[in-house]
Amino acid sequence: MSARIEIVRAAALSAAPLMLVIALWPLLLPFPDVGDTFLFWAAGHMVVTGQSPYDHASWEAAAAYGPYPGGVAANTATINLGITAVWAYPPQTAFLFAPFGALPYEVGVPLLHVFILLGGLAAIVASALVAGLRGPQLAFALSLALISQPFVIGVRYGHPIGLLVLGVVLVYVGILRRRNGPALLGAALLTLKPHLTGLFALGAVAYVVWQRDWRRLGAMAAGAVLVTLPFEIVTPFPIAAIVASGGGRLAGDLSTLPALARDLGGGLRLAVALALLTGAACVVAFVRAPTDLRPRVALASALVGSLAAIPYAHDYDWLLVMPAACVLLALGIGRRAAAPVALLTVLALVIVPWLLFFWWSLAGEPKRVLLSGPLGAVPLVLALALAAAATAARVGEARGGARGPGRRGIA
C-alpha cells in the first residue's frame, strides 16, 4: 500500500510542472519557424556533407537555405555574415549535432529542438536534485524554473545550454562523491561552450588539486581531451579568426556585467565594481552558509561568480543560473526563513530576469530591445540573494530556529 501511495504522491507533485510544460509549449517554439536551432542543425549538416563550419562560404550558402523566400536564416536573422568567424563554438559542438544534420531540414530541425527542450528539462531537474530539493519543494522549484526567463528563452531560441548545466552538476557530483564517470562526462560537456563556465572549471581543478584527488583530476582532463582533440585534428578551431571578430562580437547584443555597465552609462570602472560586488556577495554566502549546505553554496557561488566574470554571453545563456537558484531555495527549507527565501527565489529566478529581459520595452525604448545588457544583472541579483538567504539561515540557527534543514542532495 505504501508503494502505491508514493506513486500517487509522485504523480500529484509532478502534475503542476507537467501541465506547465504543456501550457508553455507555444512559447517554447521559435519564430517564425526556426530559431538558432537552425544554426546548430546547419553546423551538423556541414560536418556530414564534408564542409567546415568555420568556412565563411558555407554559411553564405546556409543563409539562403530552406523553403522560405530569402532562406531560413534571412527570415530568422540568425546569421551575421559581417562577422569573420561565424561559428564561434569548438569543433566538437558541430560534430555533436551531426546526427541531426544528417536528417533533412524538415525533420532534423524539429527533432533538434525537442532535444534542446529535453536537455533543458534534464538540466532543471538535475539542478533541483543536486540542491537537495525533494517532494513539494522539488515541484515548486521545477514550476518556477519552467516559467523563468532562463528556461523559456533558452529553449525558445534553440540553444543547448542545458548540456552545460548538466556538465556543471556532473563535475560537482564527481568531485564530491569521488566518482570518475560523472567527472569525465561533466568535463566533456563543459567543453561545448567553455567560456561560460571558465571560473567554475578553474575552481573545480583547484579544489581537486588542493585535495590531492589526482584520479578526479585525471578524469576531468581525460573528458576534456577526449572530446576536443580528435575533432580539433579533423577541423581545427580558427583562433585567429575568432580573435579578429572579437570586437564585433563584444559590441553586439550581450547580457553581461560590462554590457549592463554600458547601459547604465558607465564604463570599465563600473563593470569592475559590479563584478567585485557580485564576488563579495558570493564569498559572504559561502562563509555564512549553514555547515550542512556549504558544499552546495560553494557550487552556487562558484557558478554565479563565473557568470559574472564572462565577457561574452547572451540572454539565452542564463539557464546556467539554475543550480544556484535551486541552492538558494534549499537555504530556506525547514528553517524559519523558509518563506522569505522562497520569495527571494521567485524574485531572483522569475520576476527580475523577466523584467530585465523586457527592460527597454518597459522603458519606452523598443528600438533598444536587442541590447539585452540589463540581463547582465542576473548574477549580481542571485549573488545578493544567496548572501541574504545564507545569512538568514545562519541567524535562524543561532536562535535555535532550524526545524530540520535540508540534508539531502550532494553535500
Question: Does residue 215 have a pLDDT over 50?
Answer: yes
pLDDT of 303 reads 94
Lowest mean pLDDT among 6-20, 112-126, 162-176, 194-208: 6-20
pLDDT band at residue 325 using 50, 70 and 90 as cut-offs = very high
Question: Does residue 49 have a pLDDT over 80?
Answer: yes
Question: Does residue 75 have a pLDDT over 60?
Answer: no
> Who has greater pLDDT, 239 or 202?
202
pLDDT band at residue 22 using 50, 70 and 90 as cut-offs = confident
Query: Which set of grid coordinates corresponds to residue 374?
Result: 540589463
**How far is Cα 48 from Cα 69, in angstroms, rounded to an integer?**
25
pLDDT band at residue 36 using 50, 70 and 90 as cut-offs = confident
pLDDT of 405 reads 42
Q: What is the pLDDT of residues 353-362, one digit of tens each?
A: 999 998 887 8
pLDDT of 249 reads 61
**Percent of the chain scoring above 70 in pLDDT:** 82
Q: What is the pTM of this model?
A: 0.90
What domain range includes position 145? 2-33+104-398
pLDDT of 373 reads 81
> Who has greater pLDDT, 250 or 17?
17
Q: What is the pLDDT of residues 360-391, one digit of tens each?
A: 878 777 666 556 788 999 999 999 999 999 99
Question: Does residue 299 have a pLDDT over 70?
Answer: yes
pLDDT of 395 reads 74
pLDDT of 248 reads 60
Question: Does residue 404 have a pLDDT over 50?
Answer: no
Across the range 147-171, mean pLDDT stands at 95
Query: Looking at the domain assignment, is residue 405 inside a domain?
Result: no
Alpha helices, H only, 131-160: 135-146, 149-157
Query: Looking at the domain assignment, is residue 72 inside a domain?
Result: no
Across the range 25-40, mean pLDDT stands at 77
**Cα distances (Å, whole numbers) of residue 162 to 28, 276, 331:** 14, 27, 23
**How far is Cα 317 from Cα 161, in angstroms, rounded to an integer?**
6
Query: Looking at the domain assignment, is residue 131 inside a domain?
Result: yes
Lowest mean pLDDT among 7-11, 297-301, 342-346: 7-11
**How far is Cα 284 from Cα 95, in angstroms, rounded to an integer?**
41
pLDDT of 377 reads 94
> Who has greater pLDDT, 83 or 7?
7
pLDDT band at residue 105 using 50, 70 and 90 as cut-offs = confident
Query: Looking at the domain assignment, is residue 52 inside a domain?
Result: no
Query: Which set of grid coordinates corresponds to residue 277?
Result: 560586488
Across the range 136-140, mean pLDDT stands at 91
Across the range 335-349, mean pLDDT stands at 90
pLDDT of 1 reads 45
**How far is Cα 124 from Cα 142, in angstroms, rounded to an integer?**
7
> Who has greater pLDDT, 70 or 198?
198
Query: Looking at the domain assignment, is residue 276 inside a domain?
Result: yes
Question: Does residue 220 have a pLDDT over 60?
Answer: yes
Query: Looking at the domain assignment, is residue 58 inside a domain?
Result: no
Question: Does residue 13 have a pLDDT over 80?
Answer: no
Domain tally for the chain?
1
Query: Looking at the domain assignment, is residue 170 inside a domain?
Result: yes
- Cα torsion angle, 173, 174, 178, 180, sign: positive
**Residues of the chain by 3-state class (helix, strand, coil), percent to 5:** 75, 0, 25
Query: Looking at the domain assignment, is residue 309 inside a domain?
Result: yes
Q: Nearest 5°: phi and psi at 312?
A: -140, 110
**Percent of the chain scoring above 90 in pLDDT:** 54
Mean of the per-residue pLDDT values for the chain? 85
84 with 245: CB under 8 angstroms?
A: yes
Q: What is the pLDDT of residues 185-208, one digit of tens each?
A: 999 999 999 989 988 999 999 999
Element (H, E) at 114: helix 105-130
